[in-house]
Amino acid sequence: MTEAIINLETVNPIEFFGVNNGKLDILKKKFPLLKILSRGTQVKLSGAPEQVENAKEKIDLIVQYLERNGHMSENYFEQILGGDDAEVVDNFVERNPNEILVFGPNGKTVRARTANQKRMVSSSDKNDIVFAIGPAGTGKTYTAVALAVRALKNKMVKKIILTRPAVEAGESLGFLPGDLKEKIDPYLRPLYDALDDMIPADKLGYYMTTRTIEIAPLAYMRGRTLDNAYIILDEAQNTTDLQLKMFLTRIGANAKAIITGDMTQVDLPKNQRSGLEKAVRILKNVDGIAHIELDEEDVVRHRLVKAIIKAYDKEHQREEEREQRR
């Protein structure tokens, strides 16, 4: 049995423990074999030596982050506790300013937060095409847009092209109000939201007007050759085989592309198969094309999203097992 006492005098205890001890409860769930007591500005850990040391290292990282930033969401708190030590230092303590991808409006910094998001960044630096596959909330689109904005600001490319297939998820385009642009814009909204976080409104308006940044449905890519551009295909699980091939063959000189998708959220009609799975399989060993798999550990939305993804994955496994027994 080992004991350790950690002082929190350099940070706001409420930020560490959370409202109604919400973060403390997360800490206890992450280390169920430890006895964890809080008193004032101290945390006392009791238990097996390796468990105490592991928890102490994670708490020290949280304290370092709070000393630097003053605030930490429950989502960040949980990610630090669940991450690998080296990865946590890289992702949260923020020692290296070169890791910042973009400085957004009002001094906001945009960077890769998780290990697999960091792999997206390094893979994009080394390859011209990157497939980033993973469930909702793992930051695929956001990281991809940040990479594109960084490339534009650094004059590595002359334009950014963001595209999505306009596939209906249980609704019909015909029932939506407005002209074609107004009907399609809701499908492209996540791309606009990411850009809003990274580029001031007046500058973004200028880029859109001059077509330096172009957001368009995938169908509008046919027949084009995209040179000197950073191209993102989002929601690629909703492309057919021919559509995805068409997109990949648009890429021209001095161009980079990121294709993101979530194979658990295919909205194509039942008689159509997603082209993403096939593309990933047949292009797996092509030099210059990288493949990144993100999972629930990369979720950067509300902490419940991770639990939701796990629950659906378990149910999907049970459904497959029932199908196999029939």
- Pairwise CA distance, residues 215 & 93, whole Å: 34
Q: What is the pLDDT of residue 94?
A: 47
Query: Closest by alpha carbon to 152, among 211, 213, 205?
Result: 213
Q: What Å distances lie between residue 133 and 141, 261, 277, 292, 294, CA to CA? A: 10, 5, 10, 6, 6
- Pairwise CA distance, residues 310 & 293, whole Å: 16
Which tokens go with 267?
């909205």
Which tokens go with 49?
């030596």
φ, ψ of residue 229 in degrees (nearest 5): -135, 155
The beta strands (E) that lie in 115-183 are given as 129-133, 159-164
Q: Which CATH fold would you assign to the domain 2-93? A: Ribosomal Protein S8; Chain: A, domain 1 (3.30.1370)
- Pairwise CA distance, residues 43 & 28, whole Å: 12
Buried b (16+ CB within 10 A) or exposed e, 55-77: bbebbebbbbbbeeeeebebbbb
Domain coordinates of the chain in residue numbers? 2-93, 99-320
Instruction: Please identify which residue in the block is written with the tokens 């963001």.
Output: 162
Instruction: Please identify which residue in the block is written with the tokens 């294709």.
Output: 259
Which tokens go with 166?
């306009």
Q: How do the pLDDT tens digits run along the chain, 326 residues long?
A: 888 998 887 788 888 888 888 889 999 988 999 999 988 888 999 999 898 898 888 888 888 777 766 777 787 788 788 755 444 444 554 444 457 788 777 656 788 888 889 999 999 999 999 999 998 888 899 999 999 999 998 899 999 999 988 764 444 445 555 555 565 667 678 888 889 889 888 889 899 999 999 988 888 888 888 999 999 999 999 999 999 999 999 999 999 999 999 988 888 888 888 999 999 999 989 999 999 999 877 776 666 766 787 788 788 788 878 877 77
Q: What is the pLDDT of residue 41?
A: 84
- 216 alpha-carbon distance from chain centroid: 21
Instruction: Tell me which of 3.40.50.300, 3.20.20.70, 3.10.20.740, 3.30.465.10 is the CATH number of domain 99-320.
Output: 3.40.50.300
Q: What is the DSSP letter of 89?
A: I
Instruction: Supply the pTM of this predicted model.
Output: 0.65
The beta strands (E) that lie in the chain are given as 2-7, 35-39, 42-47, 100-103, 109-111, 129-133, 159-164, 213-217, 229-233, 256-261, 289-293
If 0-12 CB within 10 Å is exposed, 13-18 middle and 19+ buried, where does residue 313 land?
Answer: middle
β-bridge pairing 42-47 and 2-7: antiparallel
CA triplet 148, 224, 273: central angle to 5 degrees?
80
- Pairwise CA distance, residues 190 & 177, whole Å: 19
Contact 141, 194 (CB under 8 A): yes
Q: What is the pLDDT of residue 302?
A: 64
Q: What is the pLDDT of residue 170?
A: 41
